[in-house]
Amino acid sequence: MSTSVSEPKAATAIRIADVCKNYGDYQVLKNINAEVARGEVVVICGPSGSGKSTLIRTVNRLEEINSGGISFEGQNIHAPMRGSELNKLRSRIGFVFQSFNLFPHLSVVDNVSMSPIRVKGVSADVAHDKALKLLDRVGLADKANSYPGQLSGGQQQRVAIARALAMEPPVMLFDEPTSALDPEMVGEVLSVMKSLAAEGMTMLCVTHEMGFARDVADRIWFIDAGEILETAPPEDFFKNPRHPRAQRFLADLRH
Amino acid sequence: MIQDFINIINDYWLLLLIGQYPNGPLGGLANTLILSALAIALAFPVSILMALARLSKWRLLRWPVTGLVYVTRGVPLLMLILWCYFVIPLWTGADVPSFLIMLVTLVIYQGAFLSEVVRAGIVSLGQGQMDAAKALGHGHMSAMRFVILPQALYNMIPSMISTFVSTIKDTTLGYVINVPDLTFAASQVNNQLLTQPFQVFLILAVVYYILCWSLTYVANSIERRITRRRAGPRNARLPAEAAPLKTITEQL
Ligand SMILES: Nc1ncnc2c1ncn2[C@@H]1O[C@H](COP(=O)(O)OP(=O)(O)O)[C@@H](O)[C@H]1O
Ligand SMILES: [Mg+2]
């Protein structure tokens, strides 16, 4: 963990302040304000097209924003900065994609160890050992030498999680990590995520898995049409959603 | 008739193979192969640089290279050869050997064609691979080098071989600027015999045919192997996206 002398150790991992984003005339994100505390697990939910992916992708600047700022480890990730500085910040934010995006030309273990070697300059031996440990942790030690194309969706997504963890990020972002999976594989991915949460990882997850949200999340952000309409602990959100659109969203989910 | 062929090959095989060498410059089939191999070896890195420039976010890089590619693809190779033949000595003020002029022309021409293949290969990978690399902390060039290009170039192997085949055929045009290649040697033979142009040029055609056909055969079998490797449980989308590459290959 990085500590700095000038700044007291903040309890905030990510602070999103007045973030607006447009695609042409269309405003996808409308003045988003929210915080993720260290060690907190936040689940973002909302109807499709509401801007969940866009929001989570602005956090590691895969998407640019039009105004506002997002601070991570005391730095505004959307401030003008050198490419190398942005790369360094990004390497400290793990990201798991809906479509896995494993590197098909590399074996599973190389998928996991490549970026520590090429980005952080870790030696190949150390990175390889670390990758094997991480693969063991997600239950795929026996697949180290397979290629992504030989794995099931659930296995690929677990490799993708191991790959993100290999950079030792203090924060992990998940964009619908189970939406592209066959139903029988959802559980294996969620259980890896649960164990991460149990170890105290700071997590920001877009997901429709309400069971996961109920069991694991510390807070739910409900987003609709580019606005965060409600943030609440899961028990409150599921029992007494305050916003009418949140009520309708939950009613639709139960059908 | 058959005897004519045997006689020609008997008398002139060395000239057809290596030209006047060692009494004159290297020529014949050897020179054709060297010229083609050098052209493709240089056109390959040039095409990658051109593709990266065309995908660059800097207009100063993107526009001139895009223009060059369009012009090169839009004019006949023979124009380009003549153009280089007259312009390069003007620019350099030196007496540039025709072999070198032909080499430069082929590198520009095949580089431009291949750059379109490289670009298509990069674009067809989709945004996801670049996003994943960036999210892990790779910069643009690092992502290109370790994630994007290894995949795009692997897909390109058949196109590379096809380009090699078309380069071999294109070297024959060097005849107009007196590049001492196989065609040049054959026409020397023809000038000496005077009475047997049909036989001489049939031998020439057969040699080119065998050369190109065997390379095409290799390209096709590699292409089949790549398609088969892709057809596993992995990404069912890939075989479909390999198709545009093949189309581009066939335009060459
Ligand atoms: N690159 C883009 N260009 C234009 N519109 C986009 C783009 N990406 C997303 N959108 C639009 O922005 C809205 C939010 O998209 P997204 O963040 O993907 O929603 P969600 O993840 O909640 O389903 C959608 O209406 C979508 O059509
Ligand atoms: Mg989405």
Domain boundaries, chain A: 12-102+171-253
Q: What share of chain B is helix, strand, coil (3-state, %, to 5)?
A: 85, 0, 15
The CATH number assigned to the domain with range B2-241 reads 1.10.3720.10
Tokens of A125: 């031996």
Domain regions of chain B by residue span: 2-241
Helix axes A124-137, A153-165, angle to 10 degrees: 130
Q: What is the largest CA-CA distance in chain B?
A: 71
Measured in residues, chain B has a length of: 252
The amino acid at B45: P
**The pLDDT of residue A127 is above 70:** yes
pLDDT tens digit sequence for A172-224: 999 999 999 999 999 999 999 999 999 999 999 999 999 999 999 999 999 99
Q: What is the distance in A from the centroid of ligand 1 to the CA of A27?
A: 10
**Backbone φ, ψ for residue B196 (5° rounding):** -125, 50
**Atom nearest to A54 CA in ligand 1:** 17
User: Which residue in A206, A220, A170 sits closest to A51, CA to CA?
Assistant: A206
Q: What is the distance in A from the centroid of ligand 2 to the CA of A64?
A: 16
| Cα distance between the two ends of chain A | 44
Q: What is the mean pLDDT of residues A62-87?
A: 95
Is the CB of residue B144 less than 8 Å away from at least one CB of chain A? no
The 8-class DSSP code of residue A192 comes to H
Residue with tokens 């593709």: B51
Is A57 touching ligand 1 by the criterion CB < 6 Å? Answer: no
Is A48 touching ligand 1 by the criterion CB < 6 Å? Answer: yes
Of A87, A97, A105, the CB nearest to B137: A87
* pLDDT value, residue A103: 96
Whole-prediction pTM: 0.86
* pLDDT value, residue A47: 95
The verdict on a CB contact (< 8 Å) between A105 and B134 is no
* pLDDT value, residue A237: 96
Q: Where residue B244 falls among pLDDT bands split at 50, 70, 90? A: very low
User: Which residue in B124, B194, B202, B198 sits closest to B159, CA to CA?
Assistant: B124
The topology (CATH level 3) of A12-102+171-253 is: Rossmann fold (3.40.50)
Q: What is the mean pLDDT of chain A?
A: 94
Is the CB of residue A104 less than 8 Å away from at least one CB of chain B? yes
Q: Which residues from chain B sit within 8 angstroms of residue A87, using beta carbons?
A: 134, 137-139, 142
Q: Is the dihedral of CA B45, B48, B54, B57 positive or negative?
A: negative
Tokens of B37: 């191999």
Is the CB of residue A82 less than 8 Å away from at least one CB of chain B? no
Can you tell me the distance from the alpha carbon of A187 to that of B155, in angstroms, rounded to the nearest whole number? Answer: 35
Ramachandran area for residue A39 (φ above 0: left; ψ -120 to 50: alpha; else beta): left
Tokens of A156: 């690929």
Which ipTM was obtained for this model? 0.92
Closest-CA residue in chain A for B230? A149
Q: Where residue A73 falls among pLDDT bands split at 50, 70, 90? A: confident
Closest-CA residue in chain B for A58? B135
